């Protein structure tokens, strides 16, 4: 997930998200995200409390995890590090 609230390139991290039963809402730690349904500029979800926009997608094997590629300064949550390393190394 990459924070787009301050511009095209923001802080980014790889972590575990959970989907609601309907799949329309994502949960990450204490944050709740809803789809922008194509209305965002370089973002696809917004955080419901703040309205901040984010690009959220699955991890990529080629490590180009930012919207515009690259993996520079992308933090990986401790609870998914082993899983992420396995994903990119298979």
Look at residue 90 and tell me whether its pLDDT is greater than 90. Answer: no
pLDDT in tens, 24-80: 899 999 999 999 987 778 899 999 999 999 999 999 999 999 999 888 999 999 999
Looking at residue 56, what is its pLDDT? 95
Looking at residue 42, what is its pLDDT? 87
**Dihedral sign of CA atoms 3, 9, 10, 14 in order:** positive
29, 15 Cβ separation under 8 angstroms: yes
Q: Which helix (H) or strand (E) holds 86?
A: helix 81-88
pLDDT in tens, 8-20: 889 999 999 999 9
Looking at residue 40, what is its pLDDT? 76
């Amino acid at each position: 997930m990459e924070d787009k609230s301050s511009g095209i390139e923001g802080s980014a991290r790889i972590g575990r998200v959970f989907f609601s039963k309907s799949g329309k809402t994502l949960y990450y730690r204490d944050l709740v995200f809803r789809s922008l349904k194509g209305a965002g500029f370089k973002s696809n979800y917004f955080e419901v409390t703040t309205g901040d926009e984010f690009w959220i997608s699955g991890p990529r094997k080629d490590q180009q995890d930012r919207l515009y590629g690259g993996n520079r300064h992308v933090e990986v949550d401790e609870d998914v590090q082993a899983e992420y390393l396995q994903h990119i190394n298979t």
